[in-house]
Structure 1
């Protein structure tokens, strides 16, 4: 039987769509976004509460934030259809527009163990198969690693860089990728298929034991799976829509959504949109940095259309 745990509210700003929590290894600070609000929040977890230090407004849909090497170097951020450099003071510079002129927006992504950046997109209009998963390598060249995606969501890599776990929310699956660190995806298998009553798989993180924590939108829970797909832990979350997860030491930090809740759910989850946490007795790595240049080139138009 899986272990049962219960998360508690850590506080923080109430996000309409909280997402993509990350620990910046340069500072130890937690970053997370309000996608539709257009904010990046920075702070720290002290005891059983989150202490907000500052909020950066990005004037657009706030996608995942990935650190750059070096103190004070800022972050690479996916915003709307763009990749931008986000400086420490909130200044933004557009690096590339991989999803320009398409009915899509970036949603989630991380860097792998080699410093390549992976970022996935989703349809803005609910149409199937319009999302793509991009890979920006350490030379700054961007290619589409996977197409035909509904909602590109949680992604993380194992410590050796040879495996990745990935969620396409529309397909309701957690997939395992075989990874060649130099070239990308070499094979794919479905590890877990989620029943509708479980909720929709959303963001994820791989812990230092190689197990996968998956947030379940509309599921009031986070599940932990072994690399073989066995359900190990169930974390009950007092919010209907957990969205993504990060490990801050042994604390599993969970973002959530306060928008578009079904009738009655707002009363049942008054802290929806804030951060939640639970001690899970296992740790995970900080966010890996993108190690490529800020001058980014994209594959040619013919390749992009596949």
Structure 2
């Protein structure tokens, strides 16, 4: 187990803001779309799916009625977006959004429910997600008003589960199935909870190794990036292990959020409240640090013409203060950033529905 202080390695070159004056309240789930040379992402706080034209720094948006927590490619066209849950407990599902359509808010094109938002999981919301090489969509959830699920012993630095705050969120996998509708057969997503991961608090980054044999996964309050053996044909997980620990027990700063992987098997992690993006080798050793001009980088994705540009979303929202006050301290909070790297990101797959 590697415990990471992100001051342990030389910093990489400065990142650049590529979103002009645009500032998200809570930017997440960046996705490079080579067909339009744009970066698609969501703003969770404003319930918007956003598309950044990198060449012009222009951002266009589509607002969804029940929130937006992550976005993935769809082989059927457009994007699939995981929605939040509103006051009537409607949500927790995947909807289709297509920027090519004038009225494309996705509200009428539901392709699958992630979890039972009206049942025992009322108050939970969808969070980060990703697509595996077989077109399955993996999406996690977040507990209502989560507190840290793990507490650290001040003397030993070891973490133990906070029994007063039992995790109840989960990781789900949606697989393609066929359903008869008004226009005949339609591909939809059928959800299954992944018991191998166990209950979680704030499900976040999900990514696969270049050979597709390892799934990397983040439950943010644990401070851990975990790794599982992954069977690409069946989607089954096994052999859970801690890949690295971010923040806890070393300098105590920050926690892991979004994750992505490069072709050299390096794992890149956005550190919430840490002013950094960290790069680990395949063994979980910290090899490079990206110093960020914002305290809350949220997620990251490779893209650009050669696939070697790392795009990073960020947050300007703080529940304890106004966005304006955050921006006074961090003028670039909520911006989208880009960093030229020496590696190409792994292939990003599209869902089969």
TM superposition score normalised by structure 1: 0.87
Query: Match for residue 82 of structure 1?
Result: 93
> 2:345 matched to 1:284?
yes
Looking at structure 1, the residues matched to 278 and 168 of structure 2 have their Cα atoms a distance apart, in angstroms, of: 27
Instruction: Report the counterpart of residue 111 of structure 2 in structure 1.
Output: 95
Output one character per residue of 1:64-92: Cα deviation in whole Å (capped at 9) or x when no partner.
1111115xx11221101122122333242
Higher deviation after alignment, 35-44 or 103-112: 35-44
Tell me the SS of whatever aligns to 1:20. strand
Task: Give deviations 1:182-237, integer Å, cap 9, x for gaps.
Answer: 13212210011123433111001111111111000110000001111000110000
- 2:283 aligned residue: 228
Partners of 1:8 and 1:237 within 8 A in 2: no
| Partners of 2:338 and 2:98 in 1: CA distance | 28
Q: Identify which of 159, 170, 173 aligns with 1:132.
A: 170
Q: How far is the alpha carbon of 1:36 from its aligned partner?
A: 1.2
User: Partner of 1:63 in structure 2?
Assistant: 69
In the alignment, what sits opposite 1:7? 15
Which residue number corresponds to residue 292 of structure 2?
Answer: 237
Pair 1:144 & 2:202 matched: no
How far does residue 108 in structure 1 lie from its aligned partner after superposition? 0.3
Determine if contact 2:27/2:43 at 8 Å carries over to the other structure: yes
Q: Secondary structure at the match of 2:117?
A: coil
Structure 1 moving runs of 4+ over 6 Å = 261-264
Q: Report Cα offsets for 1:77-126 as digits up to 9, x if no partner.
A: 11011221223332422233324122211110100111111000111221
- Counterpart of 1:112? 132
Deviation string, structure 1 residues 28-66 (Cα, Å, up to 9, x no partner): 4210110111111112323xxx62252111123211111
Which ranges in structure 2 are unaligned for 5 or more consecutive residues?
1-7, 85-91, 147-164, 178-188
CA distance in 2, matches of 1:3, 1:288: 33
Conserved 8 A contact 1:34-1:40: yes
Alignment of 1:141-180 (within 5 A): 141-145=190-194, 146-180=197-231
From 166, 176, 184, the equivalent of 2:236 is 184
CA distance in 1, matches of 2:175, 2:319: 38
Shift in alpha-carbon separation, 1:99–1:16, aligned structure 2, 3 A: farther
Between 231-240 and 194-203, the greater mean CA deviation after superposition: 194-203
Q: Which has the larger radius of gyration?
A: 2
CA contact (8 A) 2:72 2:131 kept: yes
Q: Distance in 2 between matches of 1:106 and 1:123?
A: 9
Contact 1:63 1:79 in 2 (8 A): yes
Distance 1:120 1:74 in 2: 21
Query: Contact 1:23 / 1:286 at 8 angstroms: preserved in 2?
Result: no
Q: Pick from 201, 205, 211: which aligns with 2:260?
A: 205
In terms of fraction of residues, the more strand-rich structure is 1
Secondary structure of 2:349's match?
A: coil
- Give the TM-score taking structure 2 as reference length: 0.76
> 8 Å contact 1:108–1:155 — kept in the other structure?
yes
